[in-house]
């Protein structure tokens, strides 16, 4: 018997969870940050190379559940090649969406359902937090 | 004829929360090691305290205050009976964590000096690790670790080497919350004593499962939480050997813990009140007393057999699933079952189980060093059992694991 996956795990999220993009630390990042979720031990270290106010390179090491890894992967794809201000807006937009205060940004739609799983919200936002923290430096 | 079986249906009927549905399915609560559900008789005791004896303790001359004091001190006697100690050796605390912090702050600050050593086991919950880490850091002492093996058992053959002449405290869990390992506390305490160290036992997981007798265990301090033993959250107890408590300084100051106070001199109360500054959780303590009475009133041997049968059933079913690996295979284990599913993160498995109505704990279970030692960076899925659990609930959990494999690895 095959049933549909629960809404938290749409196919695109599962696919990113299994085959995350842009994995790996960067050799010479201009910005880096590490965020952890002590509740479950999820951990992400995110590197960026910013050139002329554009995210030229992105890489990360993520240890965590499917949602946390997929979120890092989706976010990395969404910010690559975008202006820093847009990347920050995406990260903020995802966090607002998961808090239920905004629509999920188009590029991050597979994370929409996380808002309805309070125990999993932080999994969906950990990469966004790391991105914000990195760019503050 | 075998020994009488536990009447699980009758036990379940005592717990209002077990009738709940979650996500449209009947609740299968397999997370009692986090906190147990509460029987009606305990909830009634809590409400009855507030309705019939709501006054402060040890203060008033009026009838309600007398009733509150009698109820509170009666609960202390219940705890003492449950642990095999005497009432003046029982200090009410917020729970295990506060009890261990009390020992670290009071006994530890008085007896552990620069260059001394504190020994903790590699299984410890953060509650029996962080207070000792902080103490060692504050006074310049060393923290030693009694390691665990691959099965999650303590490597007892290394104990004597770690009991140095400077070891002042040995801190060990009676039952591991993460793996279910039962530690040979009596043996550890005897060897610690011979080496001149006191033994502090985290009994949070043992209290609901094992018959306890602190004198037979030979330990010096024993801490447990009410909420893991069918009582409300926010109340627990520390048992301490009388001669140790007598010599210990207070750790918090305020009302209730003094004999006399002037601006130039304060005399502290005798134990246990010396360690209970401020108004305590009076009615929580009464409910704790009721919970321990309720638990002691069950056929404890039948409960233990039932919990062991649930564990064996779960182990048998999980062992038959490809890709599932049980973690924690120490020879003696209590009603805790930890496992990992190949290729799946415990958090994701926990969410799928939750959607099926099955409540389990996932993650590192506040025992990060033990998880790291076993190479489990994402932690485990943990099911834990109580007398109200059924074989059908165990089967639902196993079905849920299958479902998680199906939807997450498609």
Domain boundaries, chain B: 8-30+299-408, 43-296
Q: Which residues does chain A have within 8 Å of residue B407's beta carbon, measured at their own beta carbons?
A: 3, 5-6, 9
Question: DSSP assignment of B287-354, as one string?
Answer: HHHHHHHHHHHS-HHHHHHHHHHHHHHHHHHHHTSTTEEEE---SSB-SEEEEEETTS-HHHHHHHHH
Judge: A40–B347 Cβ closer than 8 Å, yes or no: yes
> By CA distance, what is A123's nearest residue in B?
B347
What pLDDT is attached to residue A3?
Answer: 52
Looking at chain A from residue 30 to 49, which residues have their Cβ under 8 Å from any Cβ of chain B? 39-42
What pLDDT is attached to residue A1?
Answer: 39
Chain A contact for B367 (CB, 8 A cutoff): no
Chain A contact for B22 (CB, 8 A cutoff): no
Q: How far is CA B46 from CA A82, B54, B238, in A?
A: 59, 11, 21
What pLDDT is attached to residue A4?
Answer: 64
Is B43-296 the same fold as B8-30+299-408? no
Kindly report, residue by residue over B335-390, the tens digit of the pLDDT: 999 999 999 999 999 999 999 999 999 988 888 899 989 989 889 999 999 999 99
pLDDT tier for residue A62 given thresholds of 50, 70 and 90: very high
Q: Which residues does chain A have within 8 Å of residue B410's beta carbon, measured at their own beta carbons?
A: 2, 5, 14
Give percent above pLDDT 90 in chain A: 86
Judge: B347–A64 Cβ closer than 8 Å, yes or no: yes
What pLDDT is attached to residue A2?
Answer: 42
Chain A contact for B364 (CB, 8 A cutoff): yes
Q: How far is CA B341 from CA B80, B379, B402, B409, B410, in A?
A: 42, 11, 10, 11, 15
Kindly report, residue by residue over A99-134, the tens digit of the pLDDT: 999 999 999 999 999 988 998 999 999 999 999 999
Report the residue from B344, B351, B410 with minimal CB separation from A8.
Answer: B351
Q: Quick one: CATH architecture of B43-296?
A: 3-Layer(aba) Sandwich (3.40)
Chain B contact for A3 (CB, 8 A cutoff): yes
Judge: A65–B352 Cβ closer than 8 Å, yes or no: no
Q: How far apart are CA B410 and CA B407, in angstroms?
A: 6
Q: How far apart are CA A131 and CA B24, in angstroms?
A: 37
What pLDDT is attached to residue A41?
Answer: 76
What pLDDT is attached to residue B207?
Answer: 98
Helices (H), B14-84: 40-52, 63-83
Report the residue from A2, A39, A119 with minimal CB separation from B406.
Answer: A2
The mean pLDDT value of chain A amounts to 93
Report the residue from A3, A5, A41 with minimal CB separation from B378.
Answer: A41
B117-121 and B167-173 strand pairing:
parallel
Instruction: Note the CATH number of domain B8-30+299-408.
Output: 3.90.1150.10
* Given B54, B136, B219, B366, the catalytic residue: B366
Q: Which domains does chain A have, with CATH numbers?
A: 11-136 (3.90.1010.10)
Report the residue from A8, A14, A65 with minimal CB separation from B345.
Answer: A65
Spans in chain B with pLDDT lower than 70: 1
What pLDDT is attached to residue B378?
Answer: 85
């Amino acid at each position: 018997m095959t049933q549909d996956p629960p809404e938290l795990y749409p196919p695109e999220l599962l696919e990113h969870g299994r085959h995350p993009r842009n994995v790996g630390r960067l050799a010479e990042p201009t910005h880096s940050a590490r965020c952890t979720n002590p509740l479950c031990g999820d951990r992400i270290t995110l590197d960026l190379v910013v050139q002329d106010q554009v995210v030229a390179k992105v890489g990360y090491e993520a240890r965590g559940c499917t949602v946390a890894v997929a979120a890092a992967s989706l976010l990395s794809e969404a910010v690559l090649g975008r202006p820093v201000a847009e990347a920050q807006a995406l990260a903020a937009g995802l966090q607002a969406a998961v808090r239920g205060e905004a629509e999920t940004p188009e590029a991050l739609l597979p994370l929409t359902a996380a808002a309805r799983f309070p125990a999993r919200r932080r999994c969906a936002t950990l990469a966004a937090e790391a991105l914000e923290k990195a760019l503050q430096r | 004829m075998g020994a009488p079986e536990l009447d699980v249906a009758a036990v379940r009927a005592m717990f209002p929360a077990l009738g709940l549905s979650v996500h449209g399915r009947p609740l299968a609560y397999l997370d009692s090691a986090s906190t147990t559900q509460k029987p009606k008789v305990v909830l009634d005791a809590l409400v009855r305290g507030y309705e019939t004896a709501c006054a402060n303790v040890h203060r008033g001359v009026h009838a309600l205050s007398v009733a509150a004091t009698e109820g509170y001190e009666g609960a202390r006697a219940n705890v003492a009976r449950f642990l095999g100690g005497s009432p003046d050796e029982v200090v009410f605390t917020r729970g295990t964590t506060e009890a261990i912090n009390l020992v670290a702050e009071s006994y530890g600050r008085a007896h552990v000096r620069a260059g001394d050593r504190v020994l903790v086991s590699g299984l410890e919950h953060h509650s029996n690790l962080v207070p000792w880490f902080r103490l060692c850091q504050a006074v310049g002492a060393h923290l030693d670790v009694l390691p665990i093996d691959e099965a999650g058992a303590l490597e007892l053959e290394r104990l004597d080497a770690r009991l140095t002449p400077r070891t002042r405290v040995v801190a060990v869990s009676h039952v591991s919350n993460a793996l279910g390992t039962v530690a040979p506390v009596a043996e550890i305490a005897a060897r610690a004593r011979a080496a001149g160290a006191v033994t502090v036992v985290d009994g949070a997981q043992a209290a609901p499962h094992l018959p306890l007798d602190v004198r037979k265990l030979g330990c010096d301090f024993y801490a447990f939480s009410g909420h893991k033993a069918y009582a409300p959250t926010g109340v627990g107890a520390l048992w301490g050997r009388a001669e140790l408590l007598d010599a210990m300084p207070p750790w918090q100051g305020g009302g209730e813990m003094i004999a006399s106070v002037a601006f130039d001199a304060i005399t502290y109360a005798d134990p246990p009140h010396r360690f209970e500054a401020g108004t305590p959780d009076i009615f929580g303590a009464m409910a704790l007393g009721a919970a321990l009475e309720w638990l002691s009133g069950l056929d404890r041997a039948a409960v233990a057999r039932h919990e062991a049968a649930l564990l064996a059933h779960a182990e048998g079913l999980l062992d038959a699933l490809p890709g599932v690996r049980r973690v924690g295979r120490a020879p003696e284990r209590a009603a805790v079952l930890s496992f990992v599913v190949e290729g799946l993160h415990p958090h994701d498995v926990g969410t799928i189980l939750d959607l099926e109505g099955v409540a389990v704990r996932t993650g590192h279970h506040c025992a990060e060093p033990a998880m790291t030692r076993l190479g489990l960076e994402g932690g485990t899925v943990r099911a834990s059992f109580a007398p109200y659990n059924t074989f059908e609930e165990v089967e639902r959990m196993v079905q849920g694991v299958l479902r998680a494999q199906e939807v997450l690895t498609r």
